[in-house]
Amino acid sequence: MGFLSSNQSWDPVEILERMQYEQRKVFHTSFQNKCEGNILNLSANRYLWGNPKATCLRQFSWSEAFHIPLADISRMGSENRSLRSTIEAFVQTAATLAQSIAEILAENLGVKSKFFAKYCTPSTSYLRMNRYPPCPFSSEVYGLLPHTDSDFLTILYQDQIGGLQLMKDGRWVGVRPNNNPEALVINIGDLFQAFSNNIYRSVEHRVIAQQEIERFSVAYFFCPSYDAVIESFSKPAIYRKFSFREYKQQIQKDLLATGDKIGLSRFLV
């Protein structure tokens, strides 16, 4: 995909600042253009908002997002040159970080594997730009519903507004911005929980809606190719082995049938 050409001199702080500026600019275009105009020239259904299948307010996410397969970046035209180059710079940095963290976590399990280098590449991963608009009834809806991530790792960059919470010891704990605009949040996803045989746990998290101010974040989802087979590193295995394609298909089936992601419990031995 040719990540970073003339932008190799950008330092990490500049990349984060530019990412926040560019995503604000694209989100502040009209709702009609985002829904109908395919302003980024991405593959179908990459602009998301709310939850069209919600039957009550508590099932509705007060947010909008561009969920971008990184293979789609090359489709972005000259009118989006600045956003494209910024995304490429962010992705290169996030991909390198995710690869290093994944290998370290695997080594801590006693596993020296080339799995991540072979199957988890920028072309198999995703970028998601999120905006959480001010919500006049913020006590009644979530910015983002409670969920776990269907990947190995998530690299998250958030602004200083706050609202991200994670489940710890049976209660929700706020992940407060620490006044360091360069800080990143690293989440373990479902696939690492299966790979580690439950030694690492996928983090359930949610976003609280804000009443008076908008919030922005951008996430890099470190994913394998669809054909990659996820298998527990130790025996007896808690989960049967499965491909990433099978896992994603099961999630979609469950969402259509129940409105909820069931996740790893579908793959217990």
* Residue 4 pLDDT: 40
Active site residues: 215
* Residue 8 pLDDT: 52
Cα separation, 43 vs 61, whole angstroms: 23
Prediction pTM value: 0.92
Residue where the block lists tokens 């489940």:
167
Cα separation, 102 vs 210, whole angstroms: 33
What CATH code would you report for 12-231? 2.60.120.330
* Residue 55 pLDDT: 73
Q: Where are the domains of the chain?
A: 12-231
With both helix axes pointing from N to C terminus, report the angle between 12-27 and 81-108 in degrees, rounded to the nearest 10: 120
Q: What is the pLDDT of residues 2-32, one digit of tens each?
A: 334 444 568 888 999 999 999 999 999 999 8
Segments in the chain below pLDDT 50: 1-7
Residue where the block lists tokens 């030694």:
199
